[in-house]
Structure 1
Amino acid sequence: MATLKGDNKNNFLMADPMNGDSVYNIYGYGGNDRIFGHSSAHNKIYGGDGNDIIYGGDFKNTIEGGKGNDQIHGGDGRDVIYGGAGVDKMWGGDGGDRFVFKSISEIGKAEGRRDVIEQFKSNTFDGRDKIDLSAIDAIAGTKKNDAFTWVAKEGAAFSGKKGELTWTETKLGNGHYTKLVMGDVNGDKKADFILEVDSFGDLYKGDFIL
């Protein structure tokens, strides 16, 4: 197992392509880092604080952006991507990728201040990517971690029932069309978070881990 560490400055960190270890751990720590994983190892990359740009390798990657407005590129392989706090933009690349969100605050809500998943592969096509919301309690005020209830119809309004998850297609201020995934955890018929998902097809329950 190989390890590469940065510091609190703006680091350029690149895994040694000649290293033959099967696991490569990379830590950016503070600063606005540029991080490149090993092309054929299982990369475990931790951006840390700062606005980081992270590229995984062609094998499976586990990438955590940490705090800051990060850009995360999974590359080929089956990647697990955590954007973390801040306004993050994420690309899974080829392979069946999982985008994990641990809290509502991580995702955000307002345009330009929310997380974005680019080039998401939905069930409309090969259905390999997943959006994992299972760590978020869908119903505020309960003692257990409740799962979201998927409302399948595009553009469906919230009914007032806590824990509903729905989606719609919309045109952004820049003229680009995208999907918005919205969740209501308190039953006030308003979105408590909005995740922007650039998908070529419609979104389905099978695209999510609820």
Structure 2
Amino acid sequence: MKKPKVLIVDDNPAVLDGLKIILELENFDVVSLCTNAKEAIEFLENRHVDVVLMDIRMPVMDGIEGTFNIKTKFPNVKVIILTTFCEKDYIEKSLSFGADGYILKSSDAKHIVNSILSVLDGKVVMDKEIALYVSDVLKRTSKQLFEKTQNLSERELEIAKLISQGYSNKEIARMLFISEGTVRNYITSILQKLNLKNRTQIAVYYLTKFS
């Protein structure tokens, strides 16, 4: 089985070394260690990477700007924010820029490993406290979003729910007895109707509306 290629971005050498050891023990290929997002982008210009584990506060270029640039230039690369910070601004910006997950460094090794595997499977990963925090923020600041729910069909709501529960397109297709292409079409429709940008925002939207 091909080892998933992971790029770790953090300005703390101890964190870099620790994560590298953990992931290599779990059969991941840690292709490089970078101390800021600018280094990561330069690396991605020349090398294939499946997942980037991205810290937020770093010199030269932080993880928020880095996430935006990576998802713009390399949309197929998965980005998981791995940080100690659970602040509204960081959460909102990273998710709006297309981060595939947001987890805290207080997570144990198993959770980090499972999070990487989940995003590789097309799922959205978000620690519960992060999801609840975002939900609270959106409830206070995005009332218009809720009014758009009536535009979604029953099947679109069903798919949004499954996305929020962490299911991949393949799993959703199997559960609903439809093709993956049909699932993708529904997701495109949901994004357009709700004026959202990515799968992560669909998950946050559903958690906000129905949690």
Same fold (TM over 0.5): no
Q: Which of the five TM-score ranges fits, normalised by the shorter chain?
A: 0.3 to 0.5
Bigger helix share: 2
TM-score for the superposition, normalised by structure 2: 0.35
TM-score for the superposition, normalised by structure 1: 0.35
